[in-house]
Amino acid sequence: SLAKQSKIYLLTDKIRNYSKLNLFKNIIETNCTESHNIFDLCCKTSHEFELFYNLTERNLNLDWMCRFDDDQYVNLNNLYKFLSQIDSSKPYYIGRTSINKRLKIPKHNRTYTFATYGAGVCFSRVLLEKLRPYVNKTILPINCVKRHSPDDVYIGYLIEFVLNISL
């Protein structure tokens, strides 16, 4: 029902099928280009973070931000139950890796991993606040391009290398 969707938002590059708009209560068009290049992926991701920060400024009680691709099935009851057992006042980065090796950081003797956005990722409120200076719409796409990293890889780099928080 639409009432259950009050905290679920659909972000899209472009709304294509206007006849089905009533299926989602909260639809936001990002105006990012529809391509899958690094800049555009990070543009879309920066809109997701901005949405969370804007909602928290309106005093909505949001403990988590989870993002899923449009081809994923999500059992919301199980997701809510799982997240309710985890303390969102601690920095949590929850997801699944898609590669079996850690990525190396050039000129550093460190590695990192990342949660693939293709499998769905959840961030705790505290982690989102720590990420805030790095994920706005101006800086995130540019820094993704500088590091030659798609959105999920760059977010993993920020969380593990910059913030020193593990997946």
Cα Dmax for the chain:
53
DSSP, res 113:
-
- The pLDDT tens digits for 96-111 are 998 889 998 888 888 9
Determine the average pLDDT of the residues in 146-165: 95
Structure-model confidence comparison of residues 62 and 162, the more confident one: 162
CB 152 within 8 A of CB 120: no
- The pLDDT tens digits for 37-52 are 899 899 999 999 998 8
Structure-model confidence comparison of residues 166 and 91, the more confident one: 91
How sure is the predictor about 26, in pLDDT bands with cuts at 50, 70 and 90?
confident
Does the pTM surpass 0.85? The reply is: yes
CB 126 within 8 A of CB 89: yes
Residue 164 has pLDDT above 60, yes or no: yes
Domain ranges for the chain: 3-162
Name the 3-class secondary structure at 160: helix
Of 62, 55, 70, the closest CA to residue 11 belongs to 70
Name the 3-class secondary structure at 43: helix
- The pLDDT tens digits for 126-152 are 999 999 999 999 999 999 999 999 999
Of 75, 113, 77, 112, the closest CA to residue 96 belongs to 113
Structure-model confidence comparison of residues 126 and 24, the more confident one: 126
103's tokens:
């990525």
Q: What percent of the chain has pLDDT over 70?
A: 87
Architecture, CATH, for domain 3-162: Alpha-Beta Complex (3.90)
How sure is the predictor about 17, in pLDDT bands with cuts at 50, 70 and 90?
low
